[in-house]
Structure 1
Amino acid sequence: QTNAPPWAEGSVVAGPRDVHFHSVNLWNRLCWTRAQGSLSQSTTYTVEYALYGDAVEVGSSVQVVWNAVEPCTDITQMECDLTEQTHDMEEAYYGRVRVSGPNGSSDWTETDGRFRPMSETVLGPPQMEVTLRENYLRVLLKGPYRWRSGRTRGRQSLWSVFPHMVYNVSVYNNRSKHRHFFLLTNGSLTLGPLDFNTGVCVTAETHSLSRHLDSQPTLPACVHTPRGEAPHPAPEQTARPDGREPPKRFYVLFR
């Protein structure tokens, strides 16, 4: 005797699994995985969302008010963009998904808990430009920017959304095998003069000092100083981006 798959006649249609919100730069998507055994090519998904606290009394009970999402009705992909529906970052939201197939529809599968955009979004990598001129390394950073939806006006930096933001810049010297970190409250860092014939790789990510948000780093950007016999004379340094007392010369950082 074999076990009948969920799509077999007379069986209960299996619902989707692992229904959850995934958010990067306030691009808020509801995602899920396919129900085990749901192999039909005609399988579709329908999404609804609810605002925390939005409920009505029905008889002696209180029921959550679920809202349909027209662009995510009878879709075949396993994600739904709810950025516009969850635009208010101070609110909390629920999501749910239902499967429809040749043998009917499943029960709704809901998210395990509330989704709070303000505290659960991930800060994506900033835009980074790394240049090398006369053995001086310059790093320029912008963003990250809020994902644009029908409710956003223009491009909005997340620095204006979340308070107390900083850039954490990592500089790796391929010759010395040392890595140094700099906390920046602006988007510019200059280091040098560097040793000749030295490779340097830079990555950066954004952090909020007041909110515990995950962040994604940039891909490494690497440059290589020209060949030469000795480093340039090093000018005096007057400040360090991370606020600590600076060494007397820049190149000490890379030895």
Structure 2
Amino acid sequence: MREVVQSLRRQRKKHVEDTPWSRSLRAFASRLHWHCHFIQKLESEPSIESQTLHPALRDLRERNPEHPNLIAWKRGQTGVPLVDACMRSLIATGWINFRMRAMLISHATFGLGLHWYEPALHLARLFTDFEPGIHYPQVQMQAGATGTNALRVYNPIKQAEDNDPSGEFVARWVPELTTLPLEWRAKPWALPKSLQKRLGFQPGVDYPIPNDFEAEARHWKKILYELRRTPDAREASKAIVDKLASQQRQPTRRAKKAKPADRQQLSLFDKGGLEE
């Protein structure tokens, strides 16, 4: 890290008059600060690796390494094409981009109702860039287990429409769906019966039919929102923020406008907004 920081400082001096480079290097410096901040979280609270951070949100789900939903998720056989494509790609390559990491955890915990621990362990074993200090706080954040962050629920259908509009990624990693027209590739369970025979594709036989993951996600969101509103939960949230949140002062409006990169929080999953 020291070598990286020293090299970064040299580059910032070299490109001080180059606005695009200067902006990019400043953003990278911000990421290094957040990298160390997240690693410090694990040093300050080692239980993050195995225990739900917020006490009011513990014991909501059972840890079950043999749960059918977990096994299907780990194998890329959930019946949700983008989720399965991401998992199969990750198994083959050891890497997947930030947003899709968020979606995998979101789908496991909200869409499938799983405890976050086993999915986190599975991903940790697969990621070539696994860093526990970043991984576990981010997993808990995406699973809604911190009690201090906005609930982040990624709809895999919308993610497929936004991030794989041509269907190429799904077709590559879920070849069972290559015969389907693009408009049905993200949700093959909805393929009309009139097309099933013509295309030689039968949902539930050629590819799994998923659970009602949207209803499951709404169910867990409702539970978490209700638990977080109680006075005890609010008090616990404040204690978590006091202990683990960044103590850096919020920039002024002028500073925000001048240095947008400095307030972008490091996320192993995604630096952008949340997607329902």
User: Which fold has the larger relative contact order, with Cα–Cα distance below 8 Å and residues 6 or more apart in sequence?
Assistant: 2
TM-score after normalising by structure 1: 0.22
State the TM-score, normalizing by the size of structure 2. Answer: 0.21
Larger radius of gyration: 1
Greater strand share, structure number: 1
- In terms of fraction of residues, the more helix-rich structure is 2
